[in-house]
Amino acid sequence: MTAGDTIYALSSGAGRAAVAVVRLSGSGTQGLLVSLAGGLPPPRRAVLRDLRDSNGETLDRAIVLWFPGPSSFTGEDCAELHLHGSPSVIQAVMAVCSAWSDVRPAEPGEFTRRAFLNGKMDLVEAEGLADLLEARTAGQRRQAFRQMSGAASSVFESWREQLLLIRADIEASVDFADEEGVAEAAAPGIDRRMATVLAEMQENLSRSAASEIIRDGVKVVLAGHPNTGKSSLLNALSRREAAIVSAIPGTTRDSIEVTMDIHGIPVILTDTAGLRARAADLVEEEGIRRTRQHIAGADVLVWVWSPDVPGSEAPEAGSMPDLIVGNKADLQTSGERPSNADALFISTRTGQGMSVLLDRLSKLLQDRYGSVESSLLVSARQKSAVQRSIRHLNDALHISPGSFELKAEEVRQASEEIGRLTGRVDVEEWLGAIFSRFCIGK
């Protein structure tokens, strides 16, 4: 990527639509806009203009927006062309853009990348923006918005600032170890302040597993013996024929995943191969091995049994189902119906009990994952950065007060990890913190 390039892209979705948005960024934007629209509109005001190619042919009548840098999304000169959304109009306007020298199609994520490089957003905000664009549920949307809007970043930044100041205090103790009073003045409370930041990080880390689940989806796994109706249940819950259903035990060989939204919580619902001691063949055996893996990795395990499959009530040894569901309630069998009030008995055929099951599942998901929006760490990258920072802080706390240099070094690494988290690691800033705090000019 050459920073000098001007980039353009169709920023709205592909295909026929009422409106299509072509976006431009870079120093060539101004010249291109003048040529296309016959002049530069006032900044940040929507104006209606005829767009013309170099031969003077009118291509479209469009809404044109001009965002001179640095007050733009990328920090560079930017423009938006709101065109009529036909492929022909889009193609004609893009052809004019590409004919301009030093103007080229943008690479994926390049506008956001430029925004990051120009300091318009940090890495966490960029991640939040990416998450927001992918958000499928209300929970995902809220979580992503908090990251994108900088609310999470400001907390991370405050951790980093506190660590910079703590380090500045330790450094001062080193520099003035011989001077009476300075070391003593700086030393008290350093460990306590470190412990406070550490506790805040740890608290966020402990809540982060649930946030990550909200981001990626809760893994709900349907397991049980063959022929109990797991695939039928997956189809009923997802309201589509995603899995093959048949009366032959061992129909499902490979696990099948569907994503769905249960009252704002994203769910990855997985249908698995029925568990039985003797698999019919190697393929089924492999399927059963995968079922066990899914059971082990499930966030929510649903055990499905049915009265016409003897012995199917008892969950797989060692597994801890969150819900046990008896299926085929419509069958007039001599099979025992569970008597306790908690027992769920449904029929995927008649729909009996399905709403109770959905309510129960929804309540379980809400209880566990419904209030996780307060956790700030939502991605594996963010989590591991904080984990590393915590490790350095723990080490720092265990270093004896006399070993200033070692302690300071651990705190430096701890703050650097947080700096990496937001993408703002900068040695100059660190020096600034020390010098501004201690008036070392004396």
Ligand X SMILES: Nc1nc2c(ncn2[C@@H]2O[C@H](COP(=O)(O)OP(=O)(O)OP(=O)(O)O)[C@@H](O)[C@H]2O)c(=O)[nH]1
CB of 348 to ligand X, least distance (A): 4
Tokens representing residue 403 in the block = 């070993």
Whether omega before 321 lies within 30 degrees of 0, making that bond cis, reads no
Choosing from 6, 112, 238, 252, the residue that interacts with Mg ion (CB under 5 A) is 252
The values of phi and psi at residue 80, to 5°, are -130, 135
Q: Which does 229 bind (CB under 5 to 8 A by kind): Mg ion, ligand X, none?
A: ligand X
CB of 270 to ligand X, least distance (A): 12
- Using CB under 6 A as the binding rule, whether residue 270 contacts ligand X is answered as no
Report CA 88 to chain centroid distance, whole Å: 35
Contacts with ligand X in 317-346 (CB under 6 A)? 327-328, 330-331
Q: Rounded CA gap, 277 and 283, in Å? A: 14
- Using CB under 6 A as the binding rule, whether residue 315 contacts ligand X is answered as no
Query: Nearer Cβ to ligand X, position 19 or 244?
Result: 244
- Using CB under 5 A as the binding rule, whether residue 204 contacts Mg ion is answered as no
Choosing from 74, 137, 153, 231, the residue that interacts with Mg ion (CB under 5 A) is 231
Site string for ligand X, 274-313 (x = CB under 6 A): x---------------------------------------
Query: Nearer Cβ to ligand X, position 153 or 227?
Result: 227
149 Rama class: left (phi>0) / alpha (psi -120 to 50) / beta: alpha
Q: Rounded CA gap, 170 and 330, in Å? A: 73
- Using CB under 6 A as the binding rule, whether residue 252 contacts ligand X is answered as yes
Q: Rounded CA gap, 393 and 197, in Å? A: 9
Written as one string, the DSSP assignment of 25-80 is ESTTHHHHHHHHHSSPPPTT--EEEEEE-TT--EEEEEEEEEE-TTSSSSSS-EEE
CB of 13 to ligand X, least distance (A): 36
- Using CB under 6 A as the binding rule, whether residue 227 contacts ligand X is answered as yes
CB of 358 to ligand X, least distance (A): 15
- Using CB under 6 A as the binding rule, whether residue 29 contacts ligand X is answered as no
Residue 441 DSSP code? T
**CA-based Rg of the chain, rounded to a whole angstrom?**
30
- Using CB under 6 A as the binding rule, whether residue 251 contacts ligand X is answered as yes
The binding site for ligand X (CB under 6 A) comprises: 226-232, 245-247, 249-252, 273-274, 327-328, 330-331, 347-349
